[in-house]
Structure 1
Amino acid sequence: MKRALIIIALFLGVSRLSVAQGEQNLVQAAMEALTAATLSDAQVAQLSRQAVVEMDAKNPVAGPNDPYTLRLNKIVSRHRTVSGLPINYKVYMVPDVNAFATADGSVRVFKGLMDIMSDSELLAIMGHEIGHVVNKDSRDAMKSALRRSAVRNVAAANSGVIGKLSRSQVGGLVDGYFGASFSRQQETEADDYSYDFLKRNGYSVMALATSFEKLAKLNGGNQSNKVTAILSSHPDSKSRAERVRTRARRDGLAK
Structure 2
Amino acid sequence: MKKMAIGLLLLGAVCTVNAQKINLGKAVGVVSKGAKAFTFTNEDAIKLSKESVDYMDKNNQVAGPKDPYTIRLNKLFAKHKSQDGLTLNYKVYKVKDINAFACADGSVRVFSSLMDIMTDDELLAVIGHEIGHVKNQDTKDAMKSAYLKAAALDAASSASATVSTLNESQVGKMANAFLDASHSKKQESEADTYSYDFMKANNYNVVGAYRAFKKLALLSEGSTQSGFEKMFNSHPDSEKRAQAVKKRAEKDGLWKDPGTVTLPKTKLTS
Category of TM-score, reference length = shorter chain: 0.7 to 0.9
Match of residue 172 from structure 2: 171
Q: Does 1:212 align with 2:213?
A: yes
CA distance in 2, matches of 1:94, 1:167: 23
The residue type equivalent to 1:77 in the other structure is A
Q: Which residue of 2 aligns with 1:225?
A: 226
Asked whether 1:108 is paired with 2:98, we answer no
RMSD, matched Cα: 2.7
**Do the aligned partners of 1:149 and 1:172 also contact (CA within 8 Å) in 2?**
yes
CA distance in 2, matches of 1:121, 1:97: 13
Match of 2:125 in 1: 124
Distance 2:170 2:141 in 1: 18
Paired residues in the alignment total 224
Q: Is the 8 A contact 2:150 2:171 kept in 1?
A: no
Deviation at 1:33, TM superposition (A): 5.4
C-alpha spacing 1:242/1:64, structure 2 compared with 1 (3 Å): same
Contact in 2 for aligned 1:98/1:228 (Cα 8 Å): no
Structure 1 residues 139 and 224, CA gap change in structure 2 (3 angstroms): same
Task: Tell me, in whole angstroms, the C-alpha distance in 2 between the residues paired with 1:145 and 1:59.
Answer: 19
CA deviation profile, 1:177-226 (whole Å, cap 9, x unmatched): 12221111111110000000000111111100001111111221515232
In structure 2, the gaps of 5 or more residues are 1-31, 155-159, 257-270
Per-residue deviation, residues 20-58 of structure 1 (Å, max 9, x unmatched):
xxxxxxxxx899655xx4232122101100001111122
Letter matched to residue 222 of structure 1: S
Instruction: Give the direction of change, closer, same or farther, for the CA distance of 1:225–1:32 in structure 2 (3 Å limit).
Output: closer
Deviation at 1:146, TM superposition (A): 2.2
The runs of at least 4 consecutive aligned structure 1 residues that moved more than 3 Å come to 29-34
Larger radius of gyration between Structure 1 and Structure 2: 1
**Distance in 1 separating the partners of 2:34 and 2:207:** 47
CA distance in 2, matches of 1:216, 1:31: 37
Distance 1:200 1:128, change over 3 A: same
Partner of 2:151: 150
Q: Secondary structure at 1:203's aligned position in 2?
A: coil
Question: Shift of residue 237 of structure 1?
Answer: 0.6
Q: Does 1:237 align with 2:258?
A: no
Distance 1:31 1:209, change over 3 A: closer
* Higher RCO, 1 vs 2 (CA within 8 Å, ≥6 residues apart): 2
Is there any run of 5+ residues in structure 1 with no aligned partner, and where?
Answer: 1-28
Give the equivalent residue in structure 2 for 1:196. 197
